[in-house]
Amino acid sequence: MKEMIYQTVCPGCNIGCGLYVRENEEGTLAVDFMKSSSANLGKLCRFGMKLPYHYSKATSMVDGKEADIETAVKAASDKLKGAKNMAMLAVGATTNEEHLAFTKIADALGIVVNTGIGAYEEIPSECHSSISQGIPLDDIEKASRIALFIDPYVQYPLLVRRLLAAKKNGATIVSLACQDLNLADENVSVNPADYKTELGLDDNSMIITDVHPHTDPEQVKNLLNLALMTGAKIMFMKPFVDSTGVHLFGKTAGQMGLQEIMDGINDGSIKTLVTLNSDLLELMPNTDEAAKTLEKLDNLIVMTSRDSPVNEMANIVIATEPLYAKAGSFMNVEGQVLNNSGESTVGIDAMSTLSQNLGGEASDFQTIHNKMMESVLQKYTAPKYSELECKVMETAAPSEDGGNLVSVYNPFMWCDQTDDNDFVIVNMTMVDKLGLRKGGMISLTSDAGSVNMRYTVRDIPDGLILTMKKLPVITGNTTEVKAEAV
Amino acid sequence: MVEVGDMLVGYATDENIRSRGASGGLVTAVLAAALEKGLVENVVVMKHINEFEAVPIITDDVEEVLASTGSLHSVPVNLAKYAMGRKVAMPAKPCDAQAVIEQGKRGMIDLDNTYVVGLNCGGSMHPVTTKKMLIEMYDIDPEDVVGEDIEKGKLIFKTKNGEEKAIAIDELEEAGFGRRESCRFCTLKIPVNADLACGNWGVIGDLAGSATFCQVMNEKGAKLLGNAIDAGRIEVQPASDKAIAIRAKVNSVMEDLGNTLEKEIFPDIPDEERMQYYMEQMEDCIDCGACKEVCPVCACGDDAKCTMFHSLVDNYKMSMYHMVRLLHLSDSCIGCGQCSDVCPSDIPITLLQSRFAIPSQRRRDYKPGMNLDTPPFFEVMLK
């Protein structure tokens, strides 16, 4: 009996939680705790505990038929040679090394690799490093006042212990999250224009927010301004295992967000899409809408280490080794480079062949890794930025017979993975208004359709309905819905 | 001829194993012999990654067993679950041995086929805390550490350049370092619940530092040790009266310390405040389920009552998950600390479980994981 044990990093977000994956001879996986990992001390959140479900292995396919990886790479080369209206997408859900190898394919094609975060294009480039550069997680514990613009319990659970430690050290936590947080000393709702005067931040404070493919760039600008004006440190949490790495090592100019890519496919300016560990059916708020859009492509070429819904739609699937088995590294939200113990370079080798077939450079793991480490070791100071002009952020007032359905993005949602989260959150005002009954359901209807959901009651602002799961009625970050008791 | 009750001092016959092992390599040699001679099919050992990291592996390779020598005070893992479903030998801290027996009571481990080589344990430390402690208290770069030991109440680190630095554990714990909280109130220091109880307490004279004191606790222990002697892997000699007395004295000091710290760690809470206390402690739970997953005495699997009656949609102040676990584990919680270690919200779950369980266990004169003579008290009550 021989068991393989891999030292790896949880792909649920960019905190960089270390863990072991155990794989027995039958291929059954189990997660084990890596207590020496400084990012998480071996602790894992609900998503991390369910990782074996996430690591379902992919199969290479060409035009709906199983193929070996060499055949799939050859078919991809044939499709890409001379193709026009192309786009490439890699959100940062694989290793630094694979991302850089993928970038070489983009170089050969004369295009950029999009990381899917459109906010970068809306924000002056001198601010980019302030968004992507890491801050040690230990700094949270040293802050005297922390302004939270995320829900750590749901979105980035391994922050909870850091925030509780900060409180033990005397910090005051003020939350501007969608729902009241138990760990917050103050749960407030403040207009962005009043952040500076109302939040009481100074240069011993920290602002914790996040940036992801659906982030409103105006909110990023507002918070960058808040950090600039108060001297507070700002920490942008990110949703993918190598989100920090792809922005540090990739090209930030000319980036398209996920919605722009979908718009490009819809208007015909993108006909061929190549993705790396980035499933748009999972990443877009509405799966059905995303599927309709992807059907319009001439070529969908998917490079992936897991079996996800988009593989079914792809013309070509280049299936690489599971993430935990790859040779390579990730850069977490702190800016730490975290290495996998895996030694497989199947993915990089496939990308190298594809790049060469397209007249580009070859990639070998060690060369890419060494170059990446050299650039990490270079000392770098973020350039200063000036106050940014912001538009007034307005949320549509909910209609009399409904509310605004808001997604609380979390690891399960980004992967569209099943969890015990098939309910929405409402407040008592809505319960009374709609006459919701204990144990009953709430019906939500939007332009995209209708769905009946279980609900739970928490302290959230009037007119708000929160979901931690992708729902077929969602049309954007905020969806106006008609709500009724069922 | 080895007999139950024997108290011996011994070491590995292979010089290499003897010099690399923590105390003469006896435990490593006993485990290797069990595998070579077919007493077991597998051995559970800790595969070293570095001084602060090791991962449990289940191996049938004698070389892997031999490569696992050395003490690991800062790798706090409970090994019981790795023994399930196998004919296996394993090293075990007292709490590992307790968990093996609790799983045995619940039919999850076949105790006839599980050989437990117990190791004295003064407590274990968290690896990340230990690294911080090395920098702040010892002024040692963690990368320079090549070995560690606990002796006469002091924690000793050895560095690459051959230096040793010792600081009293009391001093370290006052500064917020040292042993995990669950280890501080533990009073089971010699694994008398294992098949063999091994350690360096009582190893004196010329053999100090290069041999292991070994007490044969039962027939399986006699078989294990006899097997290693027959295989030529170890040499043993009777322990002297002085050695036996010193071992007992060290144990007594450690037990007293545990009892003293228990009073400090568990201050009284008035009856009327208990519910509020538990609710407040649990309120930052993120429902990850890691505390159940890692629990070495939980034998429920996926269809557990604690998860069956719990849903995220519920709005209870304290979830049914925790309520059920508090009750269910009150006759089996061994206070090993694994649940606290892995809690992403740093909830001191072990302390909460122990605070709940210890009074019931004491009232019934029942200490879980000690032997098979007394069934779990819930079972007795149900009958």
pLDDT digits (tens, 9 = 90+) for A110-149: 999 999 998 888 888 888 888 888 889 999 999 999 999 9
Q: Give percent helix, percent strand, percent coil of chain B, each to the nearest 5.
A: 45, 15, 40
User: What is the rounded distance in angstroms from the CA atom of residue B192 to the CA atom of residue B189?
Assistant: 9
Angle ∠(B354,B321,A29) on CA atoms, nearest 5: 95
Q: Say if residue A266 is in the same domain as residue A328.
A: yes
Chain A residue with minimal CA distance to B50?
Answer: A36
Domain count, chain A: 4
B77: which chain A residues are within 8 Å (Cβ-Cβ)? 35
Write the ipTM. 0.92
The whole-number pLDDT of residue A209 equals 97
In eight-state DSSP terms, residue B138 is I
Among the three residues A179, A204, A237, which one is the final residue of a domain in this structure?
A237
A191 part of contact set with chain B, CB < 8 Å = no
Q: Do A158 and B344 make contact, defined as CB atoms within 8 angstroms? A: yes
Domain annotation covers residue A15: yes
Evaluate whether A265 touches A113 at the Cβ level (below 8 Å): no
A420: which chain B residues are within 8 Å (Cβ-Cβ)? 287, 311-313
Q: What is the CATH number of the domain that holds A40?
A: 2.20.25.90
The two three-digit tokens of residue B157, written as one number = 């680190």
Q: Do A42 and B75 make contact, defined as CB atoms within 8 angstroms? A: no
User: What is the rounded distance in angstroms from the CA atom of residue B167 to the CA atom of residue B125?
Assistant: 14
Higher pLDDT, B1 or A331: A331
- Residue A376 scores a pLDDT above 90: no
Domain annotation covers residue A397: no
Across the interface, of A36, A157, A456, the residue whose CB is closest to B128 is: A36
Residue B383: band (very low, low, confident or very high) from pLDDT cuts 50, 70, 90: low
Among the three residues A363, A393, A428, which one is the final residue of a domain in this structure?
A363
Q: Say if residue A50 is in the same domain as residue A78.
A: no
- Residue A250 scores a pLDDT above 80: no
The whole-number pLDDT of residue B308 equals 85
User: What is the rounded distance in angstroms from the CA atom of residue A433 to the CA atom of residue B230?
Assistant: 81
Evaluate whether A152 touches A160 at the Cβ level (below 8 Å): yes
The stretch A169-187 carries a mean pLDDT of 96
The two three-digit tokens of residue A147, written as one number = 């302004």
A480 part of contact set with chain B, CB < 8 Å = no
Across the interface, of B53, B76, B289, the residue whose CB is closest to A46 is: B289
A418 part of contact set with chain B, CB < 8 Å = no
Q: Do B58 and A3 make contact, defined as CB atoms within 8 angstroms? A: yes
Q: State the nearest Cα–Cα gap between B187 and chain A, in angstroms.
A: 24
- Residue A252 scores a pLDDT above 70: no
Q: Say if residue A126 is in the same domain as residue A211.
A: yes
The two three-digit tokens of residue B11, written as one number = 């070491």
Q: Say if residue A411 is in the same domain as residue A467.
A: yes
Q: pLDDT, tens digit, for every residue of B311-328?
A: 888 877 678 899 999 999
Q: Say if residue A284 is in the same domain as residue A340.
A: yes
User: What is the rounded distance in angstroms from the CA atom of residue A206 to the CA atom of residue A144?
Assistant: 8
CB-facing half-sphere around the CA of A288: CA atoms within 13 A: 8
The whole-number pLDDT of residue B312 equals 86
Higher pLDDT, B74 or B89: B89
Q: State the nearest Cα–Cα gap between B21 and chain A, in angstroms.
A: 23
Q: pLDDT, tens digit, for every residue of A428-461?
A: 999 999 999 988 999 999 999 999 999 999 999 9
- How many CB atoms sit inside 10 A of residue A136's CB? 16
Domain annotation covers residue A20: yes
Evaluate whether B21 touches B30 at the Cβ level (below 8 Å): no
The two three-digit tokens of residue A48, written as one number = 């991390």
A441 part of contact set with chain B, CB < 8 Å = no
- 3-state secondary structure at position A18: strand
Q: Say if residue A6 is in the same domain as residue A88.
A: no
When scoring B125, B319, B345, B347 by the number of chain A Cβ atoms within 10 A, the one with the most, hence best to mutate, is: B345
Angle ∠(A218,A221,A222) on CA atoms, nearest 5: 85
CB-facing half-sphere around the CA of A256: CA atoms within 13 A: 20
Q: What is the CATH number of the domain that holds A109?
A: 3.40.50.740
User: What is the rounded distance in angstroms from the CA atom of residue A29 to the CA atom of residue A8?
Assistant: 13
Residue B70: band (very low, low, confident or very high) from pLDDT cuts 50, 70, 90: low
Residues 6+ apart with CB under 8 A from B330: B353, B356, B357, B360, B361, B378
- Residue A55 scores a pLDDT above 70: yes
Q: What is the CATH number of the domain that holds A472?
A: 2.40.40.20
Q: pLDDT, tens digit, for every residue of A299-342?
A: 999 999 999 999 999 999 999 999 999 999 999 999 999 999 99
Q: Say if residue A4 is in the same domain as residue A78.
A: no
Q: Say if residue A47 is in the same domain as residue A71.
A: no
The stretch A168-190 carries a mean pLDDT of 95
Q: Do B344 and A43 make contact, defined as CB atoms within 8 angstroms? A: yes
The whole-number pLDDT of residue A380 equals 60
Domain annotation covers residue A250: no
Q: Say if residue A262 is in the same domain as residue A331.
A: yes
Angle ∠(A127,A133,A136) on CA atoms, nearest 5: 140
Q: Say if residue A98 is in the same domain as residue A139.
A: no
Tell me what the pLDDT averaged over chain A comes to: 93
Residue A183: band (very low, low, confident or very high) from pLDDT cuts 50, 70, 90: very high
The stretch B225-237 carries a mean pLDDT of 97
- 3-state secondary structure at position B254: helix
Evaluate whether B156 touches B145 at the Cβ level (below 8 Å): no
Evaluate whether A22 touches A4 at the Cβ level (below 8 Å): yes
- Residue A411 scores a pLDDT above 60: yes
Name the percent of chain B lying above pLDDT 90: 77
Q: pLDDT, tens digit, for every residue of A31-54?
A: 999 999 999 999 999 999 999 989
Evaluate whether A72 touches A317 at the Cβ level (below 8 Å): yes
B288: which chain A residues are within 8 Å (Cβ-Cβ)? 44-46, 48-49, 157
- How many CB atoms sit inside 10 A of residue B253's CB? 15
The stretch B102-121 carries a mean pLDDT of 95
User: What is the rounded distance in angstroms from the CA atom of residue A13 to the CA atom of residue A152?
Assistant: 12
Name the percent of chain A lying above pLDDT 90: 83
pTM of the model as a whole:
0.93
CA nearest neighbour of B253 among B179, B181, B201: B201
Name the percent of chain A lying above pLDDT 70: 97
Dihedral angle over CA of A91, A96, A100, A106, nearest 10: -10
Domain annotation covers residue A301: yes
The whole-number pLDDT of residue B130 equals 93
Domain annotation covers residue A410: yes
The whole-number pLDDT of residue B381 equals 67
Domain annotation covers residue A247: no
Chain A residue with minimal CA distance to B340?
Answer: A43
**What is the enclosing helix (H) or strand (E) of A8?**
strand A4-9
Across the interface, of B127, B288, B313, the residue whose CB is closest to A45 is: B288
User: What is the rounded distance in angstroms from the CA atom of residue A206 to the CA atom of residue A138?
Assistant: 12
Domain annotation covers residue A249: no
User: Beta strands A337-339 and A329-331: pairing type?
Assistant: antiparallel
User: What is the rounded distance in angstroms from the CA atom of residue B349 to the CA atom of residue B360?
Assistant: 17
Evaluate whether A443 touches A471 at the Cβ level (below 8 Å): no
User: What is the rounded distance in angstroms from the CA atom of residue B360 to the CA atom of residue B367?
Assistant: 10
For chain B, which domains are there?
A: 7-121+184-258 (no CATH), 127-178 (3.10.450), 268-382 (1.10.1060)
Rg (CA), chain B: 21
- 3-state secondary structure at position A33: strand
Q: State the nearest Cα–Cα gap between A129 and chain B, in angstroms.
A: 29
User: What is the rounded distance in angstroms from the CA atom of residue A49 to the CA atom of residue A79?
Assistant: 39
Q: Do B315 and A161 make contact, defined as CB atoms within 8 angstroms? A: no
User: What is the rounded distance in angstroms from the CA atom of residue B325 to the CA atom of residue B90?
Assistant: 28
Tell me what the pLDDT averaged over chain B comes to: 92
Exposure string of A304-328, with b = 16+ CB inside 10 Å and e = fewer, is: bbbebebbebbbbbbbbbbbbbbbb
Domain interval for residue A348: 56-116+256-363
**What is the enclosing helix (H) or strand (E) of B379?**
helix B377-382
- Residue A396 scores a pLDDT above 70: no
What single letter denotes the amino acid at residue B151? E
CA nearest neighbour of B29 among B198, B145, B192, B180: B198
Q: Say if residue A132 is in the same domain as residue A232.
A: yes
The whole-number pLDDT of residue A379 equals 62
Among the three residues A37, A55, A73, which one is the final residue of a domain in this structure?
A55
- Residue A1 scores a pLDDT above 80: no
Evaluate whether A482 touches A463 at the Cβ level (below 8 Å): no
Placement of tokens 């912001």 in the chain = A390
Q: pLDDT, tens digit, for every residue of B189-228?
A: 999 999 999 999 999 999 998 999 999 999 999 999 999 9
User: What is the rounded distance in angstroms from the CA atom of residue B224 to the CA atom of residue B232?
Assistant: 13
